[in-house]
Each structure stands twice: as C-alpha cells, then as structure tokens.
Amino acid sequence: MNLRCDLHSHSTVSDGTLTPTELVVRAHDNGVEMFALTDHDTTEGLHEAAQAAEKVGLPFVPGIELSVTWSHQTIHIVGLGINRDDVALNQGLKGLREFREERGAKIAHKLEKAGFVDALEGAKKYSNGEILSRTHFAQYIVEQGKAKDVRQVFKRYLVNGKPGYVAGQWASLEEALAWIHGAGGIAVIAHPARYKISATRLRQLISEFKELGGLGFEAISGSHSPDEEQRMTQLANQFELFISKGSDFHSPDSIYRELGAMQDIQAGSIPLWHSNAWKEKIGEVK
Ligand code: AMP
Ligand code: MN
Ligand code: MN
Ligand code: MN
C-alpha cells in the first residue's frame, strides 16, 4: 500500500539542479523503491535516468510534466509510463519548448525595462538549452543580487501582476491527455492544491480531466501542507481518482521536500500504482 515511491521530480534537463543520474542515485540512497523523472516539457533526460536506474536496480517510470493552459490558468499534468520516443508526444513537446523560447524573449524584454541587463543571456546560462524556465530567470536575478532567493524573485518579478510576467499559452487539457495516452501513459493532475483557483473551478477541472480519461491525482505532493494533502485526498476519493505521490524535487536546497520524503497514502484511498491501468501499462507493483 505505502510503497516508498516518488513519481514527480526534475533534473538539469528542465529546471532542476541534479543530472538524471545524480537524481536516480539520490533517490536510491534515500530508500525510494520506485522512481519517476518528470521534467517539464521534455523527454530528453529519460534515457539517461533509465540507464542509471537499471544500474542501481531501482524500478524506473519514464515521465513528463506538461504545461497546460486551462481556463486562462496554467495547470501541470504529469504523464507516467510514457514511451519517450512517441512521435506525436515529442511533436507536441517541441511546440511547448518553442513557446518557452518566445516567452523567454518577452520576459527578458520586460525585465530589461525594469532595469536588468542581458536577462536572456543571463537566464540561458542556467538552462542547458533544452528548456528555458522562469526558474532560470530567477537564478539569474538572485545572481544579480536583486533578491535573496528564487522564491523571492517569483514574488517580486515573475508572477501575474509583476514586471517580468508573461501569460502562458501552453497545451490545451485535451491535447495534453491525448499526447500522454497516445504515448501509452497515465495522466495525473500535478500538485492540485497549488493552483490559485476556487474549489468550484478545481472540481470543474477534475470533471473535464476525468471525461478525457485522466486517472491520477497527486494529492500527496512535496509542495502540499499536511492539511492540503488531507483535503486533496478527500477530493480524489469523491471523484474516484487514484492517488499519486511525488516530491516535485528540484534541488537539494529547494523549498520542497527531499526525494522520497512524503506522507503515506491514507487507508481507504487507492494508490495509482494499484490501478488496473498501471498494471496493464507499467506493470505489477508488489
Ligand atoms: P515555468 O514552467 O517556466 O513557467 O516555471 C515554473 C516553475 O517555476 C515551476 O515548475 C517551479 O519549479 C518554479 N516556481 C514556480 N513558482 C515558484 C515559486 N513561487 N517559488 C519558487 N519556484 C517557483
Ligand atoms: Mn519546475
Ligand atoms: Mn509543476
Ligand atoms: Mn514539477
């Protein structure tokens, strides 16, 4: 029931600070028994992670975290058990990465108006060229001494209403689920308590997600408080969604939890890895 798994994490391929291999080794050292790499909008790290996992004997689930615009709001959908070479998925991801480049140029332009110099080059120093994230702009701004940490940069510069904010134009929910399902994966609503939407709209999101064949709900997230985990677990149960669990680990010194360091799933809820879909698509878990 309470397998020590971690089904949400980021490497240097997106906005994390450890390589796929370093992440796998760290997860294994932490006693994680099943691990997924879910970089933002790219499958680039999955081959390396799979190889590293095989080497240390850690069951590995290839994953992705897709950026979605739903009802003018950015939502993240995790895909688990995807075929990393799927053509339609990779075509879709390419479009998302192109939007990241366009958005990056706009963010840089806005930050320059707010007094920063060479913000695009500055942010690109922190990305390895695969995806350009707001996290990379935040790292540059910290380097410039304009904020004490990444969290403060988001608050001051990068969120809606602040000088460096540019609205997302990501995939639709329908596209995201079609890409994940087409690549043989299972879709999960990532960190549901993090969205700044009303309870009614969250329910609406869940209904649409279910209609599109979505199965998982990441009630247990490294970015949720215990109270949020409780509420999100209840919501998952009401909607008969399976519960997923992931740290959303980005870096050893981030604000979220350590790899594998999550609460147990409560009795009465069903973990995603006990679903028939998981058994069929990913395999039997003890
Ligand atoms: P992007 O997908 O480029 O818009 O960047 C989103 C990423 O920024 C998330 O995946 C987090 O890693 C990070 N992020 C978002 N909000 C914050 C915050 N308030 N503090 C620190 N990191 C954040
Ligand atoms: Mn991130
Ligand atoms: Mn996310
Ligand atoms: Mn994430």
245 lines ligand 1 (CB under 6 A): no
Amino acid at position 37, single letter: L
CB 103 within 8 A of CB 168: yes
d(CA 115, CA 105): 15
d(CA 143, CA 1): 44
224 lines ligand 1 (CB under 6 A): no
| Domain residue limits, the chain | 5-92+169-281, 95-158
Total-model pTM: 0.97
Query: Tens digit of pLDDT for each residue in 179-195?
Result: 999 999 999 999 999 99
Query: Tens digit of pLDDT for each residue in 191-244?
Result: 999 999 999 999 999 999 999 999 999 999 999 999 999 999 999 999 999 999
d(CA 256, CA 46): 22
Residue 256 has pLDDT above 80, yes or no: no
d(CA 29, CA 43): 24
9 lines ligand 1 (CB under 6 A): no
Best residue for ligand 1 mutational test, from 15, 135, 160 (most atoms within 8 Å of Cβ): 135
Helix, strand, coil fractions of the chain, as percent rounded to 5: 40, 15, 40
From the CB of residue 96, how many other CB atoms can be counted at a distance below 10 Å?
22
Helix intervals (H) in 77-133: 87-113, 119-124
CATH architecture of 95-158: Orthogonal Bundle (1.10)
Tokens of 212: 């599109």
d(CA 60, CA 35): 5
- Which atom of ligand 1 lies at the shortest distance from residue 15's CA? 12
Query: Tens digit of pLDDT for each residue in 21-62?
Result: 999 999 999 999 999 999 999 999 999 999 999 999 999 999
133 lines ligand 1 (CB under 6 A): yes
CATH architecture of 5-92+169-281: Alpha-Beta Barrel (3.20)
> Would you give the end-to-end CA distance of the chain in angstroms?
9
pLDDT at 257: 85
What average pLDDT does range 68-93 have in this prediction? 98
CB 32 within 8 A of CB 4: yes
Percent above pLDDT 70 for the chain: 99
150 lines ligand 1 (CB under 6 A): yes
